């Protein structure tokens, strides 16, 4: 209500009489402008301030000089103030616009060592104001790119500086080729996990359709160079995944994933990338070879959940390959069963077996059953024997399910019982998952 009343009074002052404005009225407008910067009333007052200046024939140069802000004052987020400044410099002409461009440069490039939050460089209204000035002057884009590069050099995560570069390149597409070199320097020399640099690099390719310039595979080399040093750099993996999907560079990806997995078989990004190639590549890949690859990793280290997830992913996309999946699980579960029998004396000696081995194998089968997989007779027998070996001879507080009525329900019941035994901390979760699978099956 106060804003409405003040606005009404202000309108009456401005429309009163023949245009003869006493000094006290101008002073009153000035006072309201400074008291309410950026608020609802302030937005209205700035608009009427411009009207007042036009009616009075006020000296626009004097008005602009009064508003020469320091870097600290510039942090006030009042878009109306910046619009008012732009209105003034337009009325004053080209020289005033050039002066204003230099003013914004000083504001945005201000290096305050005591500034912890980067408000000077992150002033979005000042950036937008500078953009309006650049459009008005039609200045050389290369100079503006150089200016934003200096800002990014000080703060590589300044998203407004990156947005400014994107806007400049849209105006001058011929500058895009050099931007690839700029982002590469930022990524390799400043920060390999810079989200803005990676996303801006993808934008250069997508929006300006520059895929043809990567005939020498520079993107794969760039991401490969980073991943050989830091194999868990999710930004590089995401960019590589995006690139091979967009550009169709599938032929070398399996061998690259093999190299990364050979160094660290627990690298989830490499396994996920390999599954992406398997499910997305136009060329047919031998499924039995992929199953064998996962099985070798599983047999070597059954507690590693990555190859189990990979095997699950293969089935999820190609559920008609039961002939490959069933023998695979049967062989692995037999190995686990033998380990369980050999480990009974260890249990008696209070040496705990590696429960992750059983959890990974059985949870994978449980998830596949949920997807429609029907375990073979061999797998059902092995699971039943595993339950008898682990549970029936050792359990004291295992919660057994109700009497089962079908083959699927029976194997689900066996799996749930084993999981409750080897990982009792998640007992309620296993029971819930069992009910979900039984309900769907």
For 411, the domain range is: 324-329+336-440
- 421 is a domain residue: yes
Q: Is the pLDDT of residue 424 over 80?
A: no
- 388 is a domain residue: yes
In angstroms, the CA 153 to CA 194 distance is: 12
Q: Is the pLDDT of residue 200 over 90?
A: yes
* pLDDT category of residue 161 using cuts at 50, 70 and 90: very high
The pLDDT score that the predictor gives to residue 40 is 43
Q: Nearest CA to 169 among 147, 152, 144, 193? A: 144
In angstroms, the CA 366 to CA 433 distance is: 8
The pLDDT score that the predictor gives to residue 19 is 42
- 340 is a domain residue: yes
The pLDDT score that the predictor gives to residue 339 is 59
In angstroms, the CA 17 to CA 434 distance is: 84
In angstroms, the CA 385 to CA 338 distance is: 10
**Stretch 372-379: mean pLDDT, rounded?**
75
- 238 is a domain residue: no
The pLDDT score that the predictor gives to residue 426 is 64
Query: Quick count: other Cβ atoms within 10 Å of Cβ 172?
Result: 13
How many structural domains comprise the chain?
A: 1
Here the tokens at position 27 are 């002073």
- 306 is a domain residue: no
The pLDDT score that the predictor gives to residue 22 is 43
DSSP-derived 3-state class of residue 16? coil
Here the tokens at position 72 are 């600290």
Tell me the range of 191-205, 206-220, 309-323 where mean pLDDT is highest.
191-205
Q: Is the pLDDT of residue 441 over 70?
A: no
**Stretch 361-377: mean pLDDT, rounded?**
77
| Look-up of token digits 């209070």 | 350
- The model carries a pTM of 0.75
């Amino acid at each position: 209500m106060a804003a409405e009343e003040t606005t009404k009074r202000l309108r009456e002052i401005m429309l009163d009489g023949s245009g003869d404005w006493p000094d006290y009225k101008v002073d009153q407008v000035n006072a309201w402008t400074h008291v309410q910067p950026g608020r609802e009333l302030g937005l209205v007052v700035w608009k009427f301030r411009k009207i007042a200046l036009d009616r009075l024939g006020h000296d626009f140069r004097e008005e602009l000089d009064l508003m020469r802000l320091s870097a600290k004052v510039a942090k006030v987020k009042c878009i109306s103030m910046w619009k008012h400044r732009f209105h003034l410099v337009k009325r004053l002409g080209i020289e005033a616009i050039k002066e204003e461009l230099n003013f914004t440069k000083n504001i945005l490039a201000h290096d305050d060592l005591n500034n912890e939050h980067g408000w000077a460089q992150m002033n979005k209204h000042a950036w937008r104001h500078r953009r309006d000035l650049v459009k008005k002057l039609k200045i050389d884009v290369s100079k503006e790119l150089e200016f934003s590069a200096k800002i990014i050099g000080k703060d590589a995560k300044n998203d407004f500086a990156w947005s400014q570069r994107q806007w400049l390149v849209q105006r001058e597409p011929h500058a895009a080729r050099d931007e690839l070199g700029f982002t590469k320097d930022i990524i390799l020399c400043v920060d390999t996990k810079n989200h803005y640099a990676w996303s801006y690099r993808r934008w250069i390719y997508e929006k300006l359709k520059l895929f043809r310039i990567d005939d020498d595979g520079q993107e794969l080399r760039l991401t490969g160079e980073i991943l050989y040093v830091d194999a868990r750099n999710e930004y590089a993996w995401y960019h590589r995944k995006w690139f091979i999907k967009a550009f169709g560079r599938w032929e070398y990806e399996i061998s690259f994933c093999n190299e990364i997995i050979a160094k660290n078989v627990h690298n989830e990004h490499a396994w996920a990338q390999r599954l992406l190639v398997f499910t997305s590549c136009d060329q047919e890949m031998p499924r039995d070879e992929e199953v064998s690859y996962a099985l070798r990793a599983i047999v070597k280290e059954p507690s590693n959940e990555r190859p189990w997830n990979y095997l699950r992913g293969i089935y999820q996309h190609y559920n008609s390959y039961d002939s490959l999946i069933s023998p695979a699980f049967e062989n692995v579960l037999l190995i686990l069963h033998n380990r369980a029998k050999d480990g009974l004396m260890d249990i008696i000696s209070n040496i705990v077996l590696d429960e992750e081995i059983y959890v990974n194998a059985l949870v994978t089968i449980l998830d596949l059953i949920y997807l429609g997989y029907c375990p073979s007779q061999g797998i059902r027998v092995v699971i039943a024997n595993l339950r008898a070996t682990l549970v029936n001879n050792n359990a004291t507080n295992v919660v057994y399910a109700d009497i089962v009525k079908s083959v699927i329900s029976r194997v689900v019941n066996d799996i749930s019982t084993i999981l409750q035994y080897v990982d009792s901390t998640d007992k309620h979760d296993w029971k819930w998952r069992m009910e979900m699978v039984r309900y769907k099956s």
